[in-house]
Amino acid sequence: MHVKPSDWRFAATTLEVAFRSVAGESTRDWFTLADHLGQPSRALAHEIYENLKELKELDPRSKAAGHILGQMDELAFPDMLQNFRETTSQDEPRPTDIREGWCHVLWSHNMPDRALVGAVHGTPLEVVSVLNRWTPGTCYGVLAAWHVEDPDWAAAQIVRTFGQPLDQLGLMPVPASGGLPRMKLLTENAIWKTIVKSPWHVEAAEPSHDDVACADQHGAVEPTR
């Protein structure tokens, strides 16, 4: 991290918030942020977030800071930052589109009591774009998304799990009264065999309910605009 000592804490805090957002899937348009970072898993993003939270309190020239940076190097943290830089460069941005397919949970402000669950070829943002064109003035957003190897199989499992047909965009409205954690649990149970691991996947503990709740307090889900 090439930053001035005077900017150390600000830079570390900014990165901490970014990885907390990916780990908690709780802030506005977290999917796009994760996409630019190279799709780190929630567990991996949470581990990096914990390291950054500790790192910002240390002297950047200290041995302790060097130790944490070494750990983060093993977690592919520098590669993720480079991936973000390349995909957001104003001169030659590198596309991040992954074509295999995604399973996702979408939200719409005109259906606060329902969420849209589906699996399609392409990305959730493409589905959101189509929905926004079809219904001008209505905002949709991505609540959760999982990269899947076989979206057709995943869609069939969702139909079997929820017992309803999908519409022409591969979406199914389901009650949101149970909350996002329940929705995600059902969806992950339906598609777990086909979820693709992140490029920098590591075996790490998933964030605890307390950690995710803390992340939610710092940024409520909002629709993509």
The per-residue pLDDT for range 164-176, each reduced to its tens digit, is 899 988 899 888 7
* CA–CA gap between residue 55 and residue 149 (Å, rounded): 36
* CA–CA gap between residue 87 and residue 3 (Å, rounded): 21
Residue pair 82/36 in contact by the 8 Å Cβ criterion:
no
Q: What pLDDT was estimated at residue 217?
A: 38
Within 10 angstroms of residue 176's Cβ, the number of other Cβ atoms is 18
**pLDDT bucket at 3, cuts 50 / 70 / 90:** low
* CA–CA gap between residue 188 and residue 209 (Å, rounded): 16
**Contact partners, residue 159, CB within 8 Å, separation at least 6:** 165, 166, 172
27-36, 156-165, 176-185, 198-207: range with lowest mean pLDDT? 198-207
| Nearest to 8, CA basis, from 74, 41, 56 | 56
Question: Each residue of 45-104: pLDDT tens digit?
Answer: 899 999 999 998 888 889 998 999 999 999 999 999 998 988 888 777 776 656 678 888
**pLDDT bucket at 207, cuts 50 / 70 / 90:** very low
Phi then psi dihedrals of residue 173, to 5 deg: -75, 130
Query: Residue 171: helix, strand or coil by DSSP?
Result: strand
Cα–Cα distances in angstroms (integers) from residue 181 to residues 5, 91, 122, 148, in the given order: 40, 39, 24, 19
